[in-house]
């Protein structure tokens, strides 16, 4: 028997749930897709009249939301009502790292997932397929299944219920989410019941070639997601470790990356040295793997993966320290322009952004930071840096000691941020920063001035005519 899905509910209207459901709605016009979230403010933003106000910036997303919203794509806070109607429910809530208790600092806090499973058990009716979309520790499906099975044993009086649980991890990267969803390398479906797996396969088959849809058992699927993120993060820590060595030895990390990337066994992707990886997934997922390995007594495995995170943290502080060193060992009262605050370009997401660590370090050293980012809002930076901005420093020159040290302000314009500063630090690879006229910058910056290109997006030739000192990540030719 084939299960035909007509109504989907996705719990969690975040960076994963929102874009994923938009793409399903676009490609499956006959399926009603309801995205629910307990955060009413977020839902209101998804429903904003002005499409520019939807809460997530992601190239291509606005167009899809514009096309499908109000037709087969709806955003609502009616969790109960939408669960009731659905024959397939995606769980796409956040799973932050536990702050206290067993596994604090490493294990994922599954409280929201459990809340969702209980809501599904309570409100759903008939046969329902529950899909794990959030990245979860291995064996979470079992938790969900146990909760749902309890509901089957004690059916509520109104309806009889039956569930199947699938793992369908999402591999999209922020900033290219729509592209990744429309044309994925693979879609992974882990499960036990082939009928349920086929029901989900039928949905993806509307736009993904069949050979790209992989079926595995549920635990392999859960572990594959953690492993994929751990491997990707490991590559970044590897190349960042080499960047430090390049700077010490006179080599150039871009040349090294190009040389090793042509080896087809290594491959050329994910070899860009930068300020250290950020984003909501890499660190959390590796720490999950570490916790899991320790749990099974595999301490060497745990230590191996933990070193990827340790290197990343060290690397971020390394950048802050070398900036201080280049600026004569002190940045107290010096104005420093920060270009980019999101964890990567083309997203307004700042979770685990290297910019947070680096800015905090510089503030600690007493700098006056003027921060620019084309998509991140002032109030988000305020939250991340845990200090209010001081708009007074915006138009000031360096060495304005009367303003207490360690202040920051938000700059709407790039020039406004650069004006009178001692250094410019490029922390996110936004396209607009590639087009800065450095000749003009010379006139508004305080000399001797440094430009720190931590993303390696600037062109050395653009600096030939200027008297600005350029430092580039992993470039050992600059002393």
Active site residues: 170, 225, 281
Here's the x/- map for ligand UDX, 126-165, by CB under 6 A: it reads as --------xx------------------------------
Q: Which is nearer to ligand UDX, 3 or 241 (CB)?
A: 241
Assess contact for 16 and 92: CB atoms under 8 A.
yes
Q: Please pick, from the candidates 31, 32, 64, 116, the single residue that binds ligand UDX as defined by CB under 6 A.
A: 116
Q: Which is nearer to ligand UDX, 322 or 400 (CB)?
A: 322
By CB under 6 A, the count of residues binding ligand UDX is 40
Q: Which is nearer to ligand UDX, 323 or 331 (CB)?
A: 323
Residue 17 contacts ligand UDX per CB under 6 A: yes
Assess contact for 16 and 134: CB atoms under 8 A.
yes
Site for ligand UDX in 309-368 (CB under 6 A): 343-344
Q: Please pick, from the candidates 31, 172, 188, 470, the single residue that binds ligand UDX as defined by CB under 6 A.
A: 172
What is the smallest separation between the CB atom of 81 and ligand UDX, expressed in angstroms? 14
| Residue 475 DSSP class | B
Q: Which is nearer to ligand UDX, 90 or 408 (CB)?
A: 90
Identify the H or E element spanning 201: helix 194-204
Q: Please pick, from the candidates 103, 137, 184, 279, the single residue that binds ligand UDX as defined by CB under 6 A.
A: 279
Task: Please count the other Cβ atoms lying within 10 Å of the Cβ belonging to residue 5.
Answer: 18
Residue 232 contacts ligand UDX per CB under 6 A: yes
Determine the Cα angle at 460 with ends 420 and 273, to 5°: 95
Q: Please pick, from the candidates 93, 230, 396, 470, the single residue that binds ligand UDX as defined by CB under 6 A.
A: 93
Give the 3-state secondary structure of residue 470: strand
| Residue 393 DSSP class | G
Assess contact for 7 and 34: CB atoms under 8 A.
yes
Residue 184 contacts ligand UDX per CB under 6 A: no
What is the smallest separation between the CB atom of 409 and ligand UDX, expressed in angstroms? 24
Q: How far apart are CA 305 and CA 85, in angstroms?
A: 42
Beta strands in 23-104 (DSSP E): 32-36, 73-76, 88-91
The residues, ordered by sequence, that sit 6+ positions from 53 with a Cβ below 8 Å of its Cβ are 45
Judged on CB neighbours under 10 Å (0-12, 13-18, 19+), 464 is: exposed
What is the smallest separation between the CB atom of 390 and ligand UDX, expressed in angstroms? 28
Assess contact for 349 and 280: CB atoms under 8 A.
yes
What is the smallest separation between the CB atom of 20 and ligand UDX, expressed in angstroms? 9
Here's the x/- map for ligand UDX, 384-413, by CB under 6 A: it reads as ------------------------------
Strand partners, 9: 34, 89
The encoded tokens of residue 387 equal 């200090």
Q: How many CA atoms lie within 13 A of 386 on its CB side?
A: 6
What is the smallest separation between the CB atom of 417 and ligand UDX, expressed in angstroms? 21
Residue 291 contacts ligand UDX per CB under 6 A: no
Residue 234 contacts ligand UDX per CB under 6 A: no
Sole window of 14-22, 57-65, 81-89, 320-328 interacting with ligand UDX (rule: CB under 6 A): 14-22
In 328-394, which ranges are continuous DSSP H helix?
A: 354-364, 378-385
Using CB atoms, what's the residue nearest to ligand UDX? 14
Q: Which is nearer to ligand UDX, 282 or 438 (CB)?
A: 282
Q: Which is nearer to ligand UDX, 136 or 331 (CB)?
A: 136
In 262-350, which ranges are continuous DSSP H helix?
A: 282-295, 299-326
Tokens 């030895």 belong to which residue?
249
Q: Please pick, from the candidates 222, 247, 252, 272, the single residue that binds ligand UDX as defined by CB under 6 A.
A: 272
Residue 39 contacts ligand UDX per CB under 6 A: yes
Q: Please pick, from the candidates 74, 95, 316, 346, the single residue that binds ligand UDX as defined by CB under 6 A.
A: 95
Q: How far apart are CA 189 and CA 215, in angstroms?
A: 5
Residue 374 contacts ligand UDX per CB under 6 A: no
SS3 helix, strand, coil % of the chain, rounded to 5?
A: 45, 15, 40
Q: Which is nearer to ligand UDX, 229 or 466 (CB)?
A: 229
Q: How far apart are CA 296 and CA 11, in angstroms?
A: 31
The residues, ordered by sequence, that sit 6+ positions from 253 with a Cβ below 8 Å of its Cβ are 239, 242, 243, 246, 273, 456, 473, 474, 475
Q: Which is nearer to ligand UDX, 12 or 333 (CB)?
A: 12
Strand partners, 73: 33, 69
Q: Which positions lie near ligand UDX, rule CB under 6 A? A: 11-17, 37-39, 42, 92-95, 112, 115-116, 134-135, 170-174, 229, 232, 236, 270-272, 274, 277-282, 343-344
């Amino acid at each position: 028997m084939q299960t035909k899905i007509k109504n989907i509910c996705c719990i969690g209207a975040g960076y994963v749930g929102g874009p994923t459901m938009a793409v399903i709605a676009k490609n499956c016009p006959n399926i009603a897709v309801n995205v629910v979230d307990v955060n009413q403010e977020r839902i209101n933003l998804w429903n904003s009249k002005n499409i520019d106000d939807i809460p997530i910036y992601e190239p291509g997303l606005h167009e899809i939301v514009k096309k499908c919203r109000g037709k087969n794509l709806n955003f609502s806070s009616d969790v109960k009502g939408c669960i009731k109607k659905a024959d397939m429910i995606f769980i796409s809530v956040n799973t932050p790292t536990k702050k206290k208790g067993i596994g604090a600092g490493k294990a994922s806090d599954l409280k929201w997932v459990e809340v969702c499973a209980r809501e599904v058990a309570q409100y759903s009716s008939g046969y329902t397929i529950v899909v794990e979309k959030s990245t979860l520790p291995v064996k979470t499906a079992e938790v969900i299944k146990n909760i749902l099975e309890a509901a089957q044993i004690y059916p509520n009086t109104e309806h009889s219920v039956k569930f199947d649980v699938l793992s369908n991890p999402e591999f999209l990267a922020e900033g290219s989410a729509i592209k990744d969803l429309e044309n994925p390398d693979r879609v992974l479906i882990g499960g036990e019941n082939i009928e349920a797996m086929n029901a989900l396969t039928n949905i993806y088959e509307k736009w993904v070639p069949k050979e790209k849809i992989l079926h595995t058992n549920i635990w392999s699927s859960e572990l594959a997601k953690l492993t994929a993120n751990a491997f990707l993060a490991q590559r970044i820590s590897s190349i960042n470790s080499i960047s430090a060595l390049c700077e010490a030895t006179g080599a150039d990390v871009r040349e090294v990356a190009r040389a090793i990337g042509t080896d087809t066994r290594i491959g050329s992707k994910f070899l860009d040295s930068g300020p250290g990886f950020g984003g909501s997934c890499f660190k959390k997922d590796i720490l999950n793997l570490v916790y899991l390995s320790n749990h099974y007594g595999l301490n060497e495995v745990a230590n191996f993966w933990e070193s990827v995170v340790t290197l990343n943290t060290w690397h971020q502080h390394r950048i802050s320290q070398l900036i201080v060193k280049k600026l004569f060992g002190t940045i107290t009262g010096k104005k420093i322009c920060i270009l980019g605050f999101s964890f990567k370009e083309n997203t307004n997401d700042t979770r685990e952004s290297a910019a947070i660590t680096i800015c905090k370090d510089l503030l600690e050293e007493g700098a006056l930071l003027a921060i620019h980012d084309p998509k991140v809002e002032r109030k988000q930076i305020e939250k991340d840096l845990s200090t209010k901005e001081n708009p007074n420093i915006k138009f000031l020159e360096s060495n304005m000691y009367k303003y207490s040290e360690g202040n920051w302000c938000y700059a709407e314009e790039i020039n406004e941020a650069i004006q009178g500063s001692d250094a410019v630090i490029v922390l996110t690879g936004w396209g607009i920063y590639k087009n800065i006229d450095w000749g003009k910058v010379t006139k508004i910056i305080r000399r001797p001035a440094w430009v720190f290109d931590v993303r390696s997006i600037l062109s050395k030739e653009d600096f030939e005519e200027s008297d600005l000192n350029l430092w580039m990540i992993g470039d050992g030719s600059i002393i």
